[in-house]
Chains A and B, each alone.
Chain A
Amino acid sequence: MGDFLKKEYLVLDKVAGSIIELSKVHRVGYGEIVHVEDSEGEKKLGRVIKIDKDKVIVQVFGATLGHSIENTKVSFAGRPFEIPLSKDILGRTFNGVGEAIDNGGDIYSDKFYNVNGRPINPVAREYPRDYIQTGISTIDGLITLIRGQKLPIFSGSGLPHNELAAQIVRQAKIQTKENESNNFSIVFAAIGVKHDEAFFFKEAFKKAGVESNVVMYINYADDPIMERIIAPRCALTAAEYLAFEENRHVLVIMTDITSYGEALREVSSLREEVPSRRGYPGYLYSDLASLYERAGMLKDGEGSVTLIPILTMPNDDITHPIPDLTGYITEGQIVLSRDLFQKNIYPPINVLPSLSRLMKDGIGEGYTREDHPDISNQLFSAYSKVQDIRALAQIVGEEDLSENDKKYMEFGEAFEKEFANQEYNENRDINDTLDLAWKIVSLLPKDELDRLDPKTIQKYMKTGD
């Protein structure tokens, strides 16, 4: 490894949380990787996060338990955080810093990739237009997922976001042009997840028969917090490699971004930085963007990176900094609702605050079906009206509603029970989803259909029953 050339530093100035400081250090690069070894011989990785004259501040990935200022050996690797990548990563499992944890041995490759990546030149991007069929009506019909999109799931603790993600993985299907493979490769990044959650996903991948197509980077809840900051970057680096060098379509599932944000906040407070909202660092936005923006497609490439980050909103609060800033970066969001969950509706997607920004260019004639844009608009506007009427019904009682309003109530029920609600194993084709949409829209009085033009109504609405 060439370690003999490297200088080892034996005295630290300070150990605080996962941050160590040492001085009289020369020729160290910003962001460089650091090897830290304690007296027991246990090795850990770290990274230079600040250089101040001859003093260097290192963030250690792992606990600093047992480190004293005199029992620690520190050496600098002379290169940034890089991981080796080759096609052999498919089907493998790694920890948060990219080391294999599945007894399959190390990955050997000539090529090392900086986990921080580099920004995609906007000129080189290809605007995503091809939709991905997930077989879930609310998503396909109203929040259509597009290949190369970053579309997070905003959830709350206890809601079935993992099931939803697993269902998407199992059912996701691309509309393929000729000679294109239909298969996704999946990169799964677990950030601070419980063991049983990780187990659930492993099982889900196995059941879906995609095991050999999955790369996992797992940082368990009881793993070092600092690794949480690197884990998603390893995963995205692997995804970029598979997409842009191996020309694959890659679906990246990342859970839980809230744990990631908390790790970031912890490091920030250890570094005594000026906090902004709720103690999160001022750079939370740019930092999250450095993850999310790595999704996309290239003009000169075949592959794509589609990113589905999952985050649990603390206290179900969508204005919390993590969902808030995420929403500003990602191309929409799928919001799960506790109300619907309690009504026993699966998946409990509340379509009103949900949105897919790229949907407008990926649906309609030539993509899904010509009536798709209008019917989805109509569902949105009618279902949002249902909310007002329900509020009214709370006060005046359902019997005293006007005829029109009663029909809206009926529509609202049908929308939730028939359209939104489906089985964990139910895979609905886009045509089925749209037909179903027409069926429930037909419950409404005709002159309430202000988003549909008469020609479309005539063509698609089945009347006479």
Chain B
Amino acid sequence: MSSLVGKISMINGPVILGENMTGFKMREMVLVGEKKLIGEIISIDKDSGIIQVYEETEGLKRDEKIVSTGKPLSLKLGPGMLGNMFDGIQRPLKSIKDNFGDFIPEGIGLISIDEEKEWDVEIDVKVGDTVKEGEIFAKVQETELIKHKLLVNIGVNGKVTKVIEDGKYNIETDLVEVEDEKGKKHNLKMYQEWPVRIPRPIKERLPIDKLLVTGQRVLDIFFPIAKGGTAALPGGFGTGKTMTQHQLAKWSDADIIVYVGCGERGNEMTEVLEDFPKLIDPKTDKPIMQRTILIANTSNMPVAAREASIYTGITMAEYFRDMGYHVAVMADSTSRWAEALREISGRLEEMPAEEGYPAYLPSRLAQFYERAGYVESLSDNDGSVTIIGAVSPAGGDFSEPVTENTKRFVNVFLGLDRELAYSRHYPAINWLNSYSGYMNMLKNYYEMNLDEDIEDLRAKMLKVLYEESRLLEIVLLVGEDVLPDEQRHILEIAKVIKIGFLQQNAFHREDTYVPLQKQLEMLKTIDLLYERGLEAIKMGIPISKVRNGELYDEVIKMKYTIPNNDIEKIDRIKNLINNFYDKLELDYSR
């Protein structure tokens, strides 16, 4: 195919205007200028087109060439993605470093997953089989943890006419030949290309009813995220968005994690690169890096690629979902993506809506979050994509456009709070303004996995916390001493819930991940402390006696003292509570 050639007529940062561009297609990828910078056409007007360039445009000159590639911005989906870090348009940063040094130059060209590396392929089909699009036709053990299932390209249906033997091949090898009804032959390789902006097809969406177990108490019990669901994590700077995202990436029970560092700090990505290979997944005993894909467009990398990075991440996630995996996408932070939209929009001189953001911001956000879901894939497997997007509201104000619009399209809202972060209460998720819309859908899940309905307990504990916030307002005016003992008891228990349950230490071996069962037992222990105390108060015992420092301390420290693999030990604490109040009541009735 001879490629079309246009020329540059205007340059404004990452946005350029080309002339002589008849025949270029919307959203097509193009190579710009002598350095062959990668760009994407974002609008066409007669023979001129506007291009957003994914690399630094310094030095670009007027009249330099714009060359078409004939295809939209696409990814190569195949083995070699897990454990790797890519830039916003799937270029592997490791090989960029090996070839170009410590700093990223422009004009690297389009490189993607490793084409040389050989993989052990097991073919599942034989000559004469009928295959359809999206079906699994071969397998590759990509990492010790994950078997990469090769899917028939979308649009290819027919009879297998040729098959290669099992063995070691690179991704460019033709593995299987399929002849469709019209007699056209298709070669299946280890990878397929897919345009990032188009959701991959599925058979059907399934109802959402499984918990994404994160091992984080405030989430799993109070504000659960469901597999295939969406969650937003807004918070001002320093409130622990990234910390929480890292915890989820480390401990959530998804099969695959796609972590998109979108316009964030370089050191944070480096931290993931250093930490994840050392962290061992308790279930499989393998480093969690083996199930992780990293996409990095740090805040100083070109802004147009930031816009693309989110789509790159979600497309990879959908691809693994189609194999039957549960994938969680962490997007940190969607605000930077929205700002990239705003920047490009501004350079295009579009009419701005709120705070300079383009009017299409809500629809873009909706399109992104709607790519989450629990589905039956074309390969007849159940898989899911869960999206957890961090939001960085300007000034920490949740009423700004990105937070507001995100709220409309997600089901879990985890508001991070500056006050909590200042007092080093982590995770700083504010229980008063956070919510999860999945509680009802997960009812059965809790019953099946915990043999218990946690809803009442959860509601009761949340009520204590709500009550506390109301009482604290009074305390602020008149002091704690004037409150009746029953209310002071609520304040004491709320403190226990906050310190002993909601606060979770990400750096403590036992506390960084807590099994669901232990979470429940801990909360039940606190409930026991609450009920027994209340009982005692109703008998007229003063709060100073009811609140016993040592006993409370035992309860608060149980997150450290009760090992995750020996939850039974919590009975000792329950006994302590019961014995203490039995004795207290006995003494008092005498």
Partners in one complex: yes
What residues of B have a CB within 8 angstroms of the CB of A281 in the complex? 346
Asked if B479 and A401 make an inter-chain contact with CB atoms under 8 angstroms apart, the answer reads yes
Asked if A283 and B303 make an inter-chain contact with CB atoms under 8 angstroms apart, the answer reads yes
CB distance from B356 to the nearest CB of A (A): 4
Asked if B395 and A319 make an inter-chain contact with CB atoms under 8 angstroms apart, the answer reads yes
Stretch at the interface among A49-57, A183-191, A216-224, A336-344: A49-57
Q: Does B109 lie at the interface of the complex (its beta carbon under 8 Å from any beta carbon of A)?
A: no
Q: Does A73 lie at the interface of the complex (its beta carbon under 8 Å from any beta carbon of B)?
A: no
In the assembly, what is the distance between CA of A119 and CA of B303, in Å?
12
In the assembly, what is the distance between CA of A373 and CA of B251, in Å?
23
Task: Closest A residue to B357 by CB, please name it.
Answer: A276
Asked if B58 and A396 make an inter-chain contact with CB atoms under 8 angstroms apart, the answer reads no
Q: Does A392 lie at the interface of the complex (its beta carbon under 8 Å from any beta carbon of B)?
A: yes
Q: Does B556 lie at the interface of the complex (its beta carbon under 8 Å from any beta carbon of A)?
A: yes
**Which of A50, A53, A282, A400 has a CB less than 8 Å from the CB of B343?**
A282
**Which of A32, A53, A299, A332 has a CB less than 8 Å from the CB of B9?**
A53
In chain B, positions 406-447 with a C-beta closer than 8 Å to chain A are: 418, 421-425
Stretch at the interface among A83-91, A225-233, A285-293: A285-293
In the assembly, what is the distance between CA of A127 and CA of B300, in Å?
17
Asked if A118 and B392 make an inter-chain contact with CB atoms under 8 angstroms apart, the answer reads no
Asked if B300 and A119 make an inter-chain contact with CB atoms under 8 angstroms apart, the answer reads yes
Proximity bits, B257-268, A CB within 8 Å = 1, else 0: 000010101110
CB distance from B414 to the nearest CB of A (A): 18
Q: Does B398 lie at the interface of the complex (its beta carbon under 8 Å from any beta carbon of A)?
A: no
Proximity bits, B172-216, A CB within 8 Å = 1, else 0: 000000000000000000000000000000000000000000000
What residues of A have a CB within 8 angstroms of the CB of B249 in the complex? none
Task: Closest A residue to B57 by CB, please name it.
Answer: A30
Asked if A125 and B301 make an inter-chain contact with CB atoms under 8 angstroms apart, the answer reads no
Contacts A118-B103, A123-B85 given; indicate if A30 touches B266 (C-beta within 8 A).
no
In chain B, positions 439-485 with a C-beta closer than 8 Å to chain A are: 475-481
Proximity bits, A335-360, B CB within 8 Å = 1, else 0: 00000000000000000110101101
What residues of A have a CB within 8 angstroms of the CB of B479 in the complex? 392, 395-396, 400-402
Q: Does A63 lie at the interface of the complex (its beta carbon under 8 Å from any beta carbon of B)?
A: no
Q: Does A124 lie at the interface of the complex (its beta carbon under 8 Å from any beta carbon of B)?
A: yes
What residues of B have a CB within 8 angstroms of the CB of A273 in the complex? 346
**Which of B9, B12, B236, B298 has a CB less than 8 Å from the CB of A293?**
B298
In the assembly, what is the distance between CA of A324 and CA of B357, in Å?
18
Proximity bits, B30-58, A CB within 8 Å = 1, else 0: 00000000000000000000000000111
In the assembly, what is the distance between CA of A261 and CA of B390, in Å?
26
Q: Does B97 lie at the interface of the complex (its beta carbon under 8 Å from any beta carbon of A)?
A: yes
What residues of A have a CB within 8 angstroms of the CB of B280 in the complex? none
Contacts A283-B343, A332-B238, A391-B476 given; indicate if A119 touches B104 (C-beta within 8 A).
yes
Asked if A447 and B549 make an inter-chain contact with CB atoms under 8 angstroms apart, the answer reads yes
Asked if A276 and B356 make an inter-chain contact with CB atoms under 8 angstroms apart, the answer reads yes
In the assembly, what is the distance between CA of A116 and CA of B267, in Å?
20
What residues of B have a CB within 8 angstroms of the CB of A54 in the complex? 62
Taking Cβ atoms with an 8 Å cutoff, the residues of A that contact B are: 26-32, 50-54, 80, 114, 116-128, 148, 244, 273-277, 281-283, 285-286, 289-290, 292-294, 296, 298-301, 319-321, 324-325, 327-329, 331-333, 352-353, 355, 357-358, 360-361, 373, 377, 380-381, 384-385, 388, 391-392, 395-396, 400-402, 447, 450-451, 453
- Sample 29 A-B pairs with CB under 8 A, ordered by A number: A28-B61, A30-B58, A31-B59, A53-B9, A117-B103, A120-B266, A120-B300, A122-B261, A122-B270, A125-B270, A127-B274, A148-B267, A274-B346, A274-B349, A276-B356, A281-B346, A289-B263, A289-B298, A292-B300, A293-B266, A324-B396, A352-B423, A355-B421, A373-B507, A384-B423, A392-B475, A395-B477, A395-B479, A396-B479
Apart from A118-B105, A447-B553: 11 A-B pairs, beta carbons within 8 A: A30-B11, A30-B60, A31-B59, A122-B270, A276-B357, A324-B394, A373-B507, A380-B424, A392-B479, A402-B479, A402-B481
